[in-house]
Amino acid sequence: MIRPLLAAACMTLLSLSAHAAGDPSTASAPASDLALHPVAGDYVARDFKFSDGTTLPEVRVHYVTLGTLQRDAHGHATNAVLLLHGTTGTGRAYLAPAMQHELFAPGAPLDARRYFIVMPDGLGRGGSTKPSDGLHARFPHYGYNDVIEAHHRMLVERLKIDHLRLVLGTSMGGMQTWMWGERYPQMASALMPIASQPIPMAGRNWLWRQMIVGAIRNDPNWQGGDYAANPTQWTRVMPVFTIMTENPARMQTTAPDRASATHLYDTLVERFGANDANDVLYWFESSWDYDPSPDLSKIRAPLFAVNFADDLINAADLGVMQKLVSQVPNGRFVEVPEGPHSYGHQTLAHPDVWKPYLVELMNSTAGHD
């Protein structure tokens, strides 16, 4: 039996994994003392052409907003903020209590009384159109450019937003933030990619993702994606996601002996198994078109990248940021050292750690609209 304190620590680690996996039970609970009122909506893009050449007659983008959109005398949006989530999450990751308290509360850097905050679900996730809606493995093989295009159309066509005060993203959302700066260099006043690097998938980062992709495609019950019941064998490899995204010292504290570590493994397998196999496959394959490195000089908005020294996914010892951020005309970065408030890659879910840099970016770009 797991001791009570260990059980509590185990649940903390599992809640982070569930947050990363898009579990709404841990990501959407409102911070009641803030009196924030999220508003959900859906936008349907007609005749959406994917970068692989296929077209769907309708693509749905689900989103949640906070605050009230403001416009200037010419009708241009003045206070819109776009928040982009990670690979296995949804926009509701930003509605976790810690996010609401640190980012949207009165006086916080993205005070919901002052800003109009848009939190969309990416293609393939949450309430947006995804393989599990019916097409299964016949769903178009979308890439990050398709996710960005769908979000852009939602902003412009549905919400009538032509300018963004800020684009901020974590993990995959951070990667897409670099791409936003290149693709729409005049649209945002500030960019903050968190827990990401502006290089294509390779090395260890590609290898662990291929473990997941290969496990799904070779699951005997996957059946080319046309399964009647969700396959389960692939879930046995999914804890590699937690290994890559969590701080090792915290994992050791959470599971200090073999029995507790085995229990944690089994629980993680069960949690990840709640996701549709095709959806997960597409999550990890969708980075196929990610490589902002050749066009970093196209970014015009001030960009402040935040990375974490103990992040295994975006390994600091690669020296990527030191080599490439100088190519961004108004770019800079900070590498947060490992310390008592470190959670590895999952430090992204602890805005108290990186909020000071957001405050600095917002203050330094005030009046840049």
Which residues does the annotation mark as catalytic?
171, 311, 345
Beta bridge partners of residue 168, listed in sequence order: 83, 192
Query: Can you tell me the distance from the alpha carbon of 299 to that of 319, in angstroms, rounded to the nearest whole number?
Result: 21
- Write out the two tokens for 224: 């080319």
Contact 208, 244 (CB under 8 A): yes
Helix axes 258-272, 4-20, angle to 10 degrees: 30
What DSSP designation does 38 have?
-
Rounded Cα–Cα distance for residues 251 and 243 (Å) = 8
Q: Cα-Cα-Cα-Cα dihedral of 281, 282, 283, 285, to 10°?
A: 90
How far, in Å, are 72, 262, 332 from residue 275 at the CA level?
43, 21, 37
Q: Cβ contacts of residue 167 below 8 Å, gap of 6+?
A: 81, 82, 84, 177, 180, 181, 188, 190, 191, 192
H helices within 118-168, ranges in order? Answer: 144-153
Edge-first strand order for the sheet with 80-84 is 39-49, 55-66, 116-120, 80-84, 166-170, 191-194, 303-308, 331-336
* Backbone Cα Rg of the chain: 20
DSSP 231-286: --GGGGGTHHHHHHHS-HHHHHHHS-SHHHHHHHHHHHHHHHTTS-HHHHHHHHHG
Long-range contact pairs involving 148-152 (C-beta distance under 8 Å, separation at least 24): 148/176, 148/179, 148/180, 148/183, 149/48, 150/45, 150/48, 150/59, 150/61, 150/122, 150/123, 151/61, 151/82, 151/84, 151/120, 151/122, 152/183, 152/184
Q: Scan for tokens 């019941």, then name that residue.
A: 229
